[in-house]
């Protein structure tokens, strides 16, 4: 039962995108179509699983002082593997995701899970955590891309939807629509969700948190306690 909770927390209770507010860049950038979002989610889940398992297995070997660079190298290695696999087998998706595929390296979710979870827990638990977080990330991307593709282009997964495709709002597929839909989704979770998203973008989600210790942005009040609660 505990193992299941460990797995399921990433999907709803600690959804990385909608509750923890991590990985905003890919969330906004690749959600223009459902197939891109699915590809991104799968790629990030694969990297997350690989890096979480590797980092958890090496957690007693990696010296504390150089842990962040070590994590980055491990993550970059997995990203390179995923990049090569996608280039070979799904070249269309590889081109569509473009630079965001290599930018999984600096995705806050992955370094964040390495720092917050995999470096402290066993291999099995870390793998479950990675799967849950990866699926949570994918589901959030799917939700957002569904809204943007259905109303922005009148299609879903490339399949045209009768009626809706005659009244599309193309701006939803463009950059401003990305910010807008994401804002509205978080507001919805705020209104109806049982787990409130964080009030502000705080530091501990940032992968460099270990390096700067929150000195980079001195938020006034509130954020400090929230970052401890997570």
Partner 1 sequence: MKELAYIIFTSILVNNYVLTKFLGICPFLGVSKKLDQATGMGVAVTFVMVLATLATYPINRFILSAFGLEYLQTIVFILVIAALVQLVEIILKKYIPALHASLGIYLPLITTNCAVLGVVKNNISDGYGFIESVASALGCGLGFLLAMVLFAGVRQRIETSKPPKCFEGVPITLVSAAIVSLSFYGFAGVIDSIFA
Q: Which residue in 4, 180, 195, 230 binds partner 1 (CB under 8 A)? A: 180
Question: For residues 32 and 35, which CB has a smaller minimum distance to partner 1 in the complex?
Answer: 32
The answer to whether residue 174 forms part of the interface with partner 1 (CB under 8 A) is yes
Determine the Cα–Cα distance for residues 106 and 112; give it in Å rounded to an integer.
Answer: 10
The answer to whether residue 165 forms part of the interface with partner 1 (CB under 8 A) is no
Listed ranges 3-11, 42-50, 114-122, 176-184: which one lies at the site for partner 1 (CB under 8 A): 176-184
The answer to whether 133 and 16 have CB atoms below 8 angstroms apart is yes
Determine the Cα–Cα distance for residues 124 and 95; give it in Å rounded to an integer.
Answer: 34
Task: Round the CA-based radius of gyration of the chain to a whole number and report it.
Answer: 18
Interhelix angle 34-57/67-89, nearest 10 degrees: 140
Determine the Cα–Cα distance for residues 21 and 134; give it in Å rounded to an integer.
Answer: 14
The answer to whether 145 and 32 have CB atoms below 8 angstroms apart is yes
Determine the Cα–Cα distance for residues 10 and 132; give it in Å rounded to an integer.
Answer: 5
Listed ranges 1-9, 44-52, 138-146, 211-219: which one lies at the site for partner 1 (CB under 8 A): 211-219
Q: Which residue in 85, 179, 195, 230 binds partner 1 (CB under 8 A)? A: 179
Question: For residues 98 and 124, which CB has a smaller minimum distance to partner 1 in the complex?
Answer: 98
Question: Mask of contacts with partner 1, 52-71, x by CB under 8 A?
Answer: -----------------x--
Determine the Cα–Cα distance for residues 71 and 105; give it in Å rounded to an integer.
Answer: 10
The answer to whether residue 230 forms part of the interface with partner 1 (CB under 8 A) is no
- Interacting positions 90-109 with partner 1 (CB under 8 A): 98-99, 102-103, 105-108
The answer to whether residue 24 forms part of the interface with partner 1 (CB under 8 A) is yes
Burial of 176 from C-beta contacts in 10 A (0-12 / 13-18 / 19+): exposed
SS3 letters across 204-226:
HHCCCHHHHCCCCCCCCCCHHHH
Question: For residues 114 and 131, which CB has a smaller minimum distance to partner 1 in the complex?
Answer: 114
Q: Which residues bind partner 1 (CB under 8 A)?
A: 21, 24-26, 28-29, 69, 72-73, 76-77, 79-80, 83-84, 98-99, 102-103, 105-108, 111, 171, 174-180, 182-184, 186-188, 190-191, 197-203, 205-208, 211-212, 215-219
């Amino acid at each position: 039962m505990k193992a299941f909770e460990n797995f399921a927390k990433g999907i709803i209770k600690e959804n990385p995108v909608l509750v923890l507010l991590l990985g905003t860049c890919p969330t906004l950038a690749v959600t223009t179509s459902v197939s891109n979002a699915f590809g991104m989610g799968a790629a990030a889940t694969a990297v997350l699983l690989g890096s979480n398992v590797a980092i958890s297995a090496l957690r007693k070997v990696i010296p504390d002082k150089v842990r962040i660079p070590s994590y980055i190298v491990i993550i970059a290695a997995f990203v390179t593997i995923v990049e090569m696999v996608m280039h070979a087998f799904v070249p269309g998706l590889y081109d569509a995701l473009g630079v965001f595929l290599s930018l999984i390296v600096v995705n806050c979710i992955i370094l964040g899970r390495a720092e917050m979870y995999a470096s402290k827990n066993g291999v099995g638990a870390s793998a479950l955590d990675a799967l849950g977080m990866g699926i949570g990330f994918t589901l959030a991307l799917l939700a957002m891309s569904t809204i943007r593709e259905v109303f922005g282009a009148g299609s879903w997964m490339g399949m045209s939807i009768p009626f809706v495709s005659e009244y599309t709002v193309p701006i939803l597929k463009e950059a401003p629509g990305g910010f807008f839909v994401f804002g509205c989704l978080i507001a919805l979770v705020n209104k109806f969700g049982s787990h409130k998203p964080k009030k502000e973008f705080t530091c501990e989600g940032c992968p460099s948190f270990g390096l700067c210790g929150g000195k980079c942005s001195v938020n006034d009040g509130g954020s400090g306690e929230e970052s401890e609660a997570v």
